[in-house]
Amino acid sequence: MTGAGVEDPRIVELRQMRHTARQGGGPDRIARQHNQGKLFVRERLELLLDPGTFHELEPFITHQGGDLGLTTEKYLGEGVVTGYGQIDGRTVYVYAQDFTVLGGTLSEMHSRKICRVMDLAVRNGTPIIGLIDSGGARIQEGVKALGGYAEIFRRNAQYSGVIPQISVMLGPCAGGAAYSPALTDLIIMVEKQSYMFITGPAVIKAVTGEEIEPDALGGADVHMSISGTAHLSAASEEEALQLCRRVLGRFPSNNVENPPYVPPTDDPLRMDEDLNTLVPLDPTIPYRMHDVIERVVDRGEFIELQPRWACNAIVGLARIGGHSVGVVAQEPSVMAGVIDLDASDKIARFVRMCDCFNLPLVTFVDSPGFLPGIDQEHRGIIRHGAKVLYAYSEATVPKISIITRKAYGGAYVVMSSKFLGTDVNYAWPSAEIAVMGAEGAVNILYRKQIAAAEDPEAERMRLIEEYRRRFNNPYHAASAGYVDDIIEPRETRPKIIAALAALRDKQTSGPPRKHGNIPM
Ligand code: HXC
């Protein structure tokens, strides 16, 4: 009340302005959004953040006129809600595009709002989360919108490895706009609701006449199983936002912090007896590496990233003894766990992400090597495989590896081998460490001897058996110091926990440089 007992009209005006700003494109547009099965931007923020923690910034910004002599209606907030809040009590900065305002399209001022929270996030060492729902560059803004995207991309790149950047796709992400999520650490999509493409269906139709459904062009299924661009997907927005909260709980707020420690409710000394019988005696019979991982990590909780793409490789986040770690492995039940182009990319990028954010790496190895053949060679398996070598060699976080069965040739070397700087290397008694499998080796080494034998096939089988006896075990490698110890499979969990404790204060330094030149 003013002195006269009348409410101050300036405060009344502020309330009205705030109310208008919170309505985005207005009730009709919000109803349209709901009718499409989508949540309104403010409902999304409530689900993402701890209750009552969101504080908005710059809600009164409006566009300053387009670049093409065209203009659009002015909406308070410019189609993006920005600010800060908390997830599990830790500060995060967030921007959330509002599709009800001009299709959530990006203008100069819309971009400025996003850049401001990105700058604040990096200055304060906190994660930045983008909730994406946008028709891309606002056509009326012309080059100003394109410049606005460039400002965001530059920050995505410069802040990469400094603070975690997470993109949650909740609607369209069209045109070059898709490059901002692509530059972030993790992309979470909603099935049948979010789309990501460089060239949309309308443009494709105009150019080629071909009609393509958005979902078939760049929906969650496509990016989870074919392109490998998305890391996680969920059936609903609510689930996607919960997933974002859960994933963030595994990351530190920035590159100089350690990931959050959660006192384990799973016994650190727990031994899983089933592990001792998991690997079949016959090396040609596969088993599931997922079973190994789930038996070793705390309470079997494993957040697998990219679970439907390059499934011969496994990457994901877990806690072991309460500490957040990155897990890398081969899945011997898919393509025998060979390393191909996509598996190389998947592993290399994940290793680098873990290294940025101080997540120790635990690697389980069972691979017969790189996938041979003209297709892989021509498409650059050398270039792609080199990324894995580079990533493991460069990573300075604690590195622990466990060879469960095959570690042949290139697979032995690239998968966190001792001489790439891995701190603790274990092998199970089932480990087979050799330049190649027995059949291939015998055919090369004893070709003449087999041909000259009375019964060549029997001689071949005898030599294979002999080779297996000599090399298909870990003792040969252990005797030369290539593995640190041979452990019973059931001991794996306590051994990893002890190694993580012993490596907690690891310090390394390399020669000074601007940055390396990873084979891309
Ligand atoms: C201006 C746009 C717009 C755009 C959508 N709108 N996209 N306005 N510029 N890029 C407007 C629509 O005109 C509409 O306004 C409102 O947003 C909602 O869009 P609808 O089409 O009604 O919604 P829907 O049917 O759900 O379809 C959503 C859509 C479609 C799939 C995103 O709008 C679409 O295809 N838009 C174009 C996407 C695209 O090609 N963008 C690339 C831009 S180039 P009204 O007032 O009628 O409701 C780019 C380059 C970036 O992004 C470069 C960076 C390197």
Q: How far does residue 215's CA lie from ligand 1's centre (Å)? A: 16
Give the closest residue (by CA) to ligand 1 atom 18: 103
- What's the full length of the chain, in residues? 520
* Closest to 98 in 3D by CA, of 78, 84, 119, 113: 78
Give the closest residue (by CA) to ligand 1 atom 3: 135
Give the closest residue (by CA) to ligand 1 atom 20: 103
Domains annotated for the chain, with CATH where assigned, are: 29-64+75-248 (3.90.226.10), 273-437+472-502 (3.90.226.10)
Of the pLDDT bands very low, low, confident and very high (cuts 50, 70, 90), residue 325 is very high
Residue 334 clears pLDDT 70, i.e. is over it: yes
CB 93 within 8 A of CB 83: yes
Predicted local confidence at residue 1, as pLDDT:
56
pLDDT tens readout for residues 1-51: 566 788 999 999 999 999 999 999 999 999 999 999 999 999 999 999 999
pLDDT tens readout for residues 95-138: 999 999 999 999 999 999 999 999 999 999 999 999 999 999 99
How far apart, in whole angstroms, are the C-alpha atoms of residue 518 and residue 352? 11
38 in helix, strand or coil? Answer: coil
How far apart, in whole angstroms, are the C-alpha atoms of residue 7 and residue 381? 72
Predicted local confidence at residue 6, as pLDDT:
86
DSSP for 216-275, please give it.
HHHBHHHHHHTS---SEEESSHHHHHHHHHHHHTTS-SSTTSPPPP---SS-TT---GGG
How far apart, in whole angstroms, are the C-alpha atoms of residue 328 and residue 483? 18
How far apart, in whole angstroms, are the C-alpha atoms of residue 244 and residue 258? 19
The tokens of 254 are what? Answer: 């920035």
Q: Is 517 left (phi over 0), alpha (psi -120 to 50) or beta?
A: beta
Q: How far does residue 72's CA lie from ligand 1's centre (Å)? A: 13
Query: Residue 307 corresponds to which amino acid?
Result: P
Q: How far does residue 102's CA lie from ligand 1's centre (Å)? A: 8
**Is-above-0.75 flag for pTM?**
yes
Closest atom of ligand 1 relative to the 102 alpha carbon: 17
Supply φ then ψ for residue 66, to 5 degrees: -75, 175
Closest atom of ligand 1 relative to the 134 alpha carbon: 32
Give the closest residue (by CA) to ligand 1 atom 46: 102
The span from the first CA to the last CA of the chain, in angstroms, equals: 65
Q: How far does residue 301's CA lie from ligand 1's centre (Å)? A: 40
The tokens of 218 are what? Answer: 């760049």
* Closest to 101 in 3D by CA, of 76, 64, 127, 126: 76
Give the closest residue (by CA) to ligand 1 atom 27: 135
Residue 157 clears pLDDT 60, i.e. is over it: yes
DSSP for 168-227, please give it.
EEEEEEEGGGGHHHHHSSEEEEETTT-EEESS-HHHHHHHH-----HHHHHBHHHHHHTS
Q: How far does residue 136's CA lie from ligand 1's centre (Å)? A: 6
Q: Which residues line ligand 1 (CB under 6 A)?
A: 102-103, 105, 135-139, 146, 149, 172, 174-177, 179, 200, 202
How far apart, in whole angstroms, are the C-alpha atoms of residue 311 and residue 305? 10
State the catalytic residues.
Answer: 175-176, 410-411
How far apart, in whole angstroms, are the C-alpha atoms of residue 199 and residue 190? 20
CB 392 within 8 A of CB 422: yes
Closest atom of ligand 1 relative to the 200 alpha carbon: 40
Q: How far does residue 178's CA lie from ligand 1's centre (Å)? A: 14
Give the closest residue (by CA) to ligand 1 atom 29: 135
CB 416 within 8 A of CB 393: no
Closest atom of ligand 1 relative to the 103 alpha carbon: 17
Hey, which of 101, 107, 139, 195 would you mutate to test ligand 1's pocket, going by the most ligand atoms within 8 Å of its Cβ? 139
Of the pLDDT bands very low, low, confident and very high (cuts 50, 70, 90), residue 471 is confident
